[in-house]
């Protein structure tokens, strides 16, 4: 059963969070300020007012362009705002309270990390480490893993992919897996416990393989040097992987 008023609040909060996160995704990799700088048009530099900053609605009202210079507004803004709004609405709608807030925060951060990894093959510590911290704190009200399982999950998740990365570098003489992926898996272990990690990894690897096969089917060149953003698939597999682990252990019964 979905609770309408919490879902509405979650959707509004998600749209607002998405507005900030979209700006972060666009500016951060370029070394531009996010938190301390005023929002401005990328085309003419005009500082945006409140009427320009209403998530999703402002861009629709302005038909996707700046009302001063006509420069196109990056559609990523609307997509991230809508995605975060949906995540917030579902999280708070189905789980009002701290548990739902935890699911919303987890979803917002995973969406941000997935987009950064897709665009830049980058999973910054400034997001993966707070994600792990939240798993040890508000995650206690979100999933049913006990603290010791979270600690073991964080350690095993990080060390398992760290070992893969170091082994690949040693035997192939080049980087094959970023440490951001190891930190992300460790953070997911902090949220879901070590029991969920095999399911998350298996599902993420399967999704990655399907993405490679799809690329090959569409004629894109794929070889041993092709980069695959594993962080995307870990982020997508997190929730379903946890759910599968619950079914396997009977905890979801």
Distance, CA of 58 to CA of 78 (rounded, Å): 10
**Backbone region of residue 251 per phi and psi (left: phi > 0; alpha: psi in -120 to 50; beta: other values):** alpha
Which is it for the CA torsion 26, 106, 125, 210, positive or negative? negative
The set of residues, in sequence order, having a beta carbon less than 8 Å from that of 69 and lying 6+ positions away, is 41, 43, 44, 46
Element (H, E) at 201: helix 197-217
Distance, CA of 128 to CA of 183 (rounded, Å): 6
Distance, CA of 189 to CA of 90 (rounded, Å): 23
How do the domains of the chain map onto residue ranges? Answer: 1-96, 124-253
Distance, CA of 19 to CA of 16 (rounded, Å): 5
Q: Give CA 137 to chain center in angstroms.
A: 18
**What is the pLDDT tens value at each position of the chain, 253 positions in all?**
889 999 999 999 999 999 999 999 998 998 876 665 666 666 555 566 556 567 777 777 676 676 666 667 788 999 999 999 999 999 999 999 999 999 999 999 999 999 999 999 999 999 999 999 999 999 999 999 999 999 999 999 999 999 998 997 888 777 778 899 999 999 999 999 999 999 999 999 999 999 999 988 888 877 777 788 999 999 999 999 999 999 988 765 4
Q: Which residues pair with 214 in a beta bridge?
A: none
CA atoms within 13 A on the CB side of 111: 26
Q: Using CB atoms within 10 A of its CB, is residue 118 exposed (0-12), middle (13-18) or buried (19+)? A: middle
Distance, CA of 28 to CA of 184 (rounded, Å): 19
Confidence (pTM): 0.91
């Amino acid at each position: 059963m979905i609770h309408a008023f919490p879902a509405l609040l979650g959707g509004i909060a998600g749209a607002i969070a998405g507005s900030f996160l979209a700006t972060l995704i666009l500016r951060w990799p370029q070394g531009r300020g996010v938190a301390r700088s005023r929002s401005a048009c990328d085309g003419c530099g005009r500082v945006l007012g409140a009427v320009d900053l209403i998530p999703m609605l402002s861009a629709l009202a302005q038909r996707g362009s700046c009302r001063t210079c006509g420069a196109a507004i990056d559609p990523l803004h609307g997509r991230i705002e809508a995605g975060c709004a949906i995540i917030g609405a579902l999280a708070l709608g189905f789980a009002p309270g701290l548990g739902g807030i935890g699911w919303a925060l987890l979803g917002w951060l995973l969406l941000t990390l997935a987009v950064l990894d897709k665009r830049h093959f980058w999973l910054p510590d400034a997001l993966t480490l707070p994600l792990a911290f939240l798993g040890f704190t508000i995650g206690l009200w979100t999933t049913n893993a006990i603290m010791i399982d979270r600690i073991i999950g964080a350690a095993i998740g990080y060390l398992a992919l760290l070992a893969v990365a170091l082994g690949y570098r040693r035997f192939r003489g080049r980087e094959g897996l970023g440490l951001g992926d190891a930190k992300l898996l460790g953070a997911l272990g902090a949220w879901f416990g070590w029991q969920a990690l095999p399911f998350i990894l298996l599902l993420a690897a399967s999704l990655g393989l399907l993405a490679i096969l799809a690329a090959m089917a569409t004629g894109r060149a794929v070889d041993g040097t092709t980069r695959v953003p594993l962080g995307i698939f870990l982020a997508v597999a997190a929730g379903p992987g946890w759910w599968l682990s619950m079914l396997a252990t009977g905890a979801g019964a």
